[in-house]
Amino acid sequence: MSTWSTTLDAADIQDPQLRKDFTEQRSLVARYKRAAYTAVRLLLPRPLVPHLIAAIAFMHHTDNLLDHGPPAQRRDAYKAWEVAVRSSLATGHSDHPVIRPLLHVCTRHPHLPGHLKEFLATAATDLEFTGFTTEADYQRYLDQYSLPAFILVACLLAPADEPTGYRAACRTYIDGSQRLDFVNDLAEDLANDRLTIPQDTLLRHGVTRNDLEHAKDTPEVRTLLKHLLQQARTTLAASHHVTALLPPANRPFVRALIALEEATATAAEAKGPGILTSPARPAAPATLRILTREYLHTRRLRHPARRIR
């Protein structure tokens, strides 16, 4: 793995303030999801690494504003954030350490501002979330929030003229990823008064919110969790074809991203109703195997004439 300073140089980020901003966002992302951060550093071309980290950091910051605190406070915080981001996009300037690096990324990826505006137009969907009555409600949430959020990162991995079918493939991936997150984060979400499983799904399985809040280990709860994780697995498996739509240099990273999600699903399945008290994490050996396998693919791409032992 190259040094961070070398990575910033490769991305032609020379301004001292910007280098500091990108470094701060790198630290945030590394704390947020260590395995995904390691995949970014190991598997992506160095000039792209800071750009992707800035986009992930922006999404993490926005998620925090939308998810934490009383409803009125969250609404006010997000509204002020939306105004700040839109103003910065219009002027090309910002004093905020999360927005400044993102503006720099916009100068290198001219299609990103359009995706940012699309996301800002619908992000308040997450503020208004009170739960899903049906699967259709979940699908609307996916289209209005999860997909526009993911596209902020995904658009940096694809060519500027995104290939036909790329957005649909991204939707398949984020559908599987979101389903997995909703199961894996049940304990935290319920503690924050968010029930992310559709009511009709609970009814079909004979499970109540009270069962989940009290982490009951019943046959019905086990069957429900197995069903939800299988849904996530099936959709993640269907998303693998997205890699064929990417430049070869970016494919190992996306393969690793999907494989890490699948390893998380395996860990969640093993944990069973224990997932109702704390999230599952992929086993360290599984994570290491995934990253090592894709790193070897990356080395072969970068040094085709060199034999990798």
User: Residue 207 corresponds to which tokens in the numbers above?
Assistant: 């499970």
C-alpha of 34 from chain center: 13
Q: In tens digits, what is the pLDDT along the chain, a chain of 309 residues? A: 679 999 999 999 999 999 999 999 999 999 988 888 999 999 999 999 999 999 999 999 999 898 888 888 999 999 999 999 999 999 999 999 999 999 999 999 999 999 999 999 998 888 878 889 999 999 999 999 999 999 999 999 998 888 999 999 999 999 999 999 999 999 999 998 889 999 999 999 999 999 999 999 999 999 999 999 999 999 999 999 999 999 999 999 999 999 999 999 999 999 999 999 999 999 899 999 999 999 999 988 877 765 544
Confidence (pLDDT) at 309: 45
Instruction: Indicate whether this model's pTM tops 0.85.
Output: yes
Q: Reduced to 3 states, what is the DSSP secondary structure of residue 282? A: coil
| Helices of type H across the chain | 4-10, 16-32, 34-43, 49-67, 71-91, 99-108, 112-122, 135-141, 147-157, 166-184, 186-191, 199-205, 209-213, 219-238, 251-271, 284-302
**Domains of the chain by range and CATH?**
1-128 (no CATH), 130-309 (1.10.600.10)
| 193 Rama sector, left if φ>0, alpha if ψ -120 to 50, beta otherwise | left
Give 3-state DSSP helix, strand, coil % of the chain, rounded to 5.
75, 0, 25
Which pLDDT belongs to residue 182? Answer: 97
* Alpha-carbon radius of gyration of the chain: 20
How high is the pLDDT of residue 161?
85
